[in-house]
Structure 1
Amino acid sequence: MTEKDYDAAAEWAEHDMNLPRRSGTARRGADAAAFGRELVERSQGGRPSIDPDASPGDKSPVRQVRLPRALDADLIAYAESIHRKPSEVLREALIEYLASHKLAG
């Protein structure tokens, strides 16, 4: 996007956009401005971190794993059946695995 695009979007949001009066999710005033600033800061650093404690611009570590085709197909089918991404399923599975295999000490 160009500076002109950002200006046009800001103009629309500040003057022409109509929000439902009793919306539980619409942000207004200072809350909307703070949310917008945070969103812009996060977008400048690439993909947002999946770490809720990360600062804007922090990147999440990436791990790669090779899977047999049958296991990958099972992962994809399962993820689709629960409307999640395979990476989300893998993260959740790893959390559960590590929690149940912690070393005492």
Structure 2
Amino acid sequence: MSKPPIAKKTRAELREEALRPSPSLGYDRDILAVHLIKCGSFALAEAQLRRAIWLNPFESLFKLHLAQCLQRLKRTPEARECLARVLARDPDNVPAQRLLARLDSLASSPE
């Protein structure tokens, strides 16, 4: 039985990996992910956001967008973990506080 072919990395991907972690990387993937979320392609958006976070673990906005995506995928515990990481680094992050409050209200409301 032959192994499936392994996708070769592009020059851009190799460059990203050589430069990571960097506070200047990942924004293009975040923009794409936000568009994918708006289109309802949550699984594709999640992959882009995880790559953005891997490239630039310093940007809280990427983690916030990932939490929103996970919430839309009905993966609330994972969304809470992302928000906890954001709030641990920046306790005054209002968008993260709002999303966490929304998750709490959804969890407490009867279905």
Normalised to the residue count of structure 1, the TM-score between the two structures is 0.29
Which protein has the larger Cα radius of gyration, Structure 1 or Structure 2? 1
Which is bigger in relative contact order (C-alpha 8 A, separation at least 6)? 2
Normalised to the residue count of structure 2, the TM-score between the two structures is 0.28
